Amino acid sequence: MTKREGVRAGRRPQDPAESWELPYTEREGGFYFRGIYAGHPFAPPGPEDVPAGAWESLRETCGLESLKQLLIIPASVRAVGRRNRKVITPTEVLAVGTRAVGLWVEKPSPAVRVAIGLDELAALEDVHILLYGRLSFLSRDNRLTIRYNTVCRRILEPVLQRLREKLAGPGCPVPSRGSPTGPLPFKWNFLLQYPFTTLDPAAPRVFGFQGAPRARRAWIPRGHLLILTPFELVSLRDPVESFHSYGVDSLFIPRSRMEAVSVQPDGVQVTVKDTELFLPLPPTLLAEMRRWFDTSKPGIGSEGAHGPKEVRKASGVLPDAGGITR
Whether residue 108 is preceded by a cis peptide bond, meaning omega within 30 degrees of 0, is yes
- β 132-139/143-149 pair status: antiparallel
- What does the pLDDT profile of the chain (326 residues) look like in tens digits? 555 544 443 344 457 888 888 888 766 555 544 444 445 889 999 999 999 999 999 999 999 999 999 999 998 888 786 667 888 888 999 999 999 999 999 998 999 999 999 999 999 999 998 888 999 999 998 999 999 888 889 999 999 999 999 999 888 889 876 666 678 889 999 999 999 999 988 899 999 998 865 555 555 668 999 999 999 999 999 988 776 778 999 999 999 999 999 988 889 999 998 899 999 998 889 999 998 987 544 332 333 333 323 223 322 333 333 333 32
Closest-CA residue to 115 (of 147, 93, 90):
93
